[in-house]
């Protein structure tokens, strides 16, 4: 049973556009919510993370929005670039173990 | 490079053989994790260590799997009597003391024929 549900499975965005990926969870013990970027054949790379006491966090072109009451969080990639084409995973942690979503493949068209 | 390193990067083995993977965490990171990732899925937690102590094992980790972290430095993951269902990417990650962030290595791709 997947503890973190991620959508959409894939998305295509034009260069300069905004990519939005959504995740939902049920376990209220989760206290840390990171996003990872993964290229084919590589390990996941930590992009940005948030704690549940914060509603939004921005780092460069990447923003996490967090809604604790709805148990949902999302990643916004602003000004999407072809180099952003990758698979993105949301995750949630309780007691140091990460539970990952199924991933979203983002394709940025030039 | 001071990131997490894993060896080998690729391993092809015949069903029934034993395999061992190694992970070297980032220096001074006291927690080390193993995950498994199959094609098209997110990584799944297998086990983790704090220093040399193995603190938790997933139900995914059958009796054929064993992990060690002697002296709290590098870690090894051994799979005995491999099965075709063991084919996956095995990922290692490490965390600093008092930090929740996990940094992943490049993974070891296992193919069981």
Per-residue pLDDT of chain A (110 residues; tens, 9 = 90+): 679 999 999 999 999 999 999 999 999 999 999 999 999 999 999 999 999 999 999 999 999 999 999 999 999 999 999 999 999 999 999 988 999 999 999 999 99
* Interacting residues of B5 by C-beta distance below 8 A, sequence separation 6+: B23, B24, B105, B106
CB atoms under 10 Å from CB of B77, counted, come to 23
Count each helix (H run) and each strand (E run) in chain A, helices first.
0, 11
Nearest CB partner across the interface for B45, out of A31, A97, A101: A97
Q: What is the mean pLDDT of residues B107-113?
A: 98
Give A-chain residues touching B103 at CB under 8 angstroms: 46
CA distance A70 to chain B (A): 23
Buried (b) or exposed (e) across B25-54, using 16+ Cβ within 10 A? Answer: bbeebbbbbbbbbeeebbbbbbbbbbeeee
Q: What's the pLDDT at B61?
A: 86
Interface of B with A (CB under 8 A): 4, 31, 33, 35, 40-45, 48, 56, 91, 95, 100-107, 109
Does the structure show a pLDDT above 60 at B72?
Answer: yes
CA distance B24 to chain A (A): 14
Nearest CB partner across the interface for B103, out of A46, A96, A99: A46
How far, in Å, are A13, A22, A33, A67, A69 from residue A53 at the CA level? 31, 19, 11, 10, 11
What region does B85 belong to: left with phi over 0, alpha with psi -120 to 50, or beta? Answer: alpha
């Amino acid at each position: 049973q997947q503890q973190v549900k991620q959508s959409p499975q894939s998305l295509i965005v034009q260069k300069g556009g905004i990519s939005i990926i959504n995740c939902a969870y049920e376990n209220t013990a989760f206290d840390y919510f990171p996003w990872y970027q993964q290229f084919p054949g590589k390990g996941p790379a930590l992009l940005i993370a948030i704690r549940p006491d914060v509603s939004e966090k921005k780092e460069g072109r990447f923003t996490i929005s967090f809604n604790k009451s709805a148990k949902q969080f999302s990643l916004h990639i602003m000004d999407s670039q072809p180099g952003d084409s990758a698979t993105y995973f949301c995750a949630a942690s309780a007691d140091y173990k990460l539970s990952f979503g199924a991933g979203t493949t983002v394709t940025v068209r030039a | 490079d001071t990131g997490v390193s894993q060896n080998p990067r690729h391993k092809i083995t015949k069903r029934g053989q034993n395999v061992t993977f190694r992970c070297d965490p980032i220096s001074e990171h006291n927690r080390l994790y193993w995950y498994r990732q199959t094609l098209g899925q997110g990584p799944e937690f297998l086990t983790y260590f704090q220093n040399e102590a193995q603190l938790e094992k997933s139900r995914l980790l059958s009796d054929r799997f064993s992990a060690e972290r002697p002296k709290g430095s590098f870690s090894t993951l051994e799979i005995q009597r491999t099965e075709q269902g063991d084919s996956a990417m095995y990922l290692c990650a490490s965390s600093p003391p008092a930090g929740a962030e996990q940094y992943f290595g490049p993974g070891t791709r296992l193919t069981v024929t």
